[in-house]
Amino acid sequence: MINQPEVAATIAALHEEYEAALVSNDVEKLVGFFWDSEHALRFGVAESLYGAKEIEEFRKKRPPADLQRKVFNAKIVTFGGDTAVVTIEFIRHIQGSPRHGRQTQVWRNFEAGWKIVSAHISFVPPSYMDQASALVGMPIPAGNREAVRANLERVAVIARPLFDFPIDDSVESAPVFVP
């Protein structure tokens, strides 16, 4: 049966515990949520971890900075009483810049209880506006973001004829002016 209420409630409670352990960097609890097997896996933003040992080593070495995140769009789908999938989206501030992330976990009910057998975490690529803002160290206040986005669109429209102008490959660029 799909989405049995008692199974979904159990997974929701476990996921809340996982989130609390994640943002407090409770390494022992985080490691305990994963299946203790060479077949467990976790694909992170910048790492591919195969097996419980690699997952544990990652958790032990991960710096505890910027771990707070706002979770939204959480979905739980259960399949019978032994398998569940949890998906979330989140916003996490990294070095002052908001990042939109996604996470999927596959849970399996073993004799020892529910364990994560597979996890995948990724970030939605930041917009040009966010990348430029971070690059120059100039955060864009929330109240100004829409106006900055609109101005960037205007700049693109104004620059389009220049970018569309055909230049033959045989044309050499102008020399550099040195005063």
**Residue 95 binned pLDDT confidence (cut-offs 50, 70, 90):** confident
CA-nearest of 105, 32, 30 to 74 is 105
Which residue segments constitute the domains of the chain, with CATH numbers given?
Answer: 5-123 (3.10.450.50), 128-164 (no CATH)
> What's the pLDDT tens digit per position in 102-153?
999 999 999 999 999 999 999 998 888 988 888 899 999 999 999 999 999 9
With beta carbons less than 8 A apart as the criterion, state whether 11 and 114 touch.
yes
Whether residue 6 is predicted with pLDDT greater than 90 in this model: the reply is yes
Looking at residue 130, what is its pLDDT? 84
> What's the pLDDT tens digit per position in 19-78?
999 999 999 999 999 999 999 999 999 999 999 999 999 999 998 888 999 999 999 999
**What's the one-letter identity of residue 54?**
E
Angle between helices 128-136 and 145-164 (to 10 degrees): 100
C-alpha span between 99 and 24 (Å, rounded): 19
With beta carbons less than 8 A apart as the criterion, state whether 54 and 40 touch.
no
With beta carbons less than 8 A apart as the criterion, state whether 105 and 118 touch.
yes
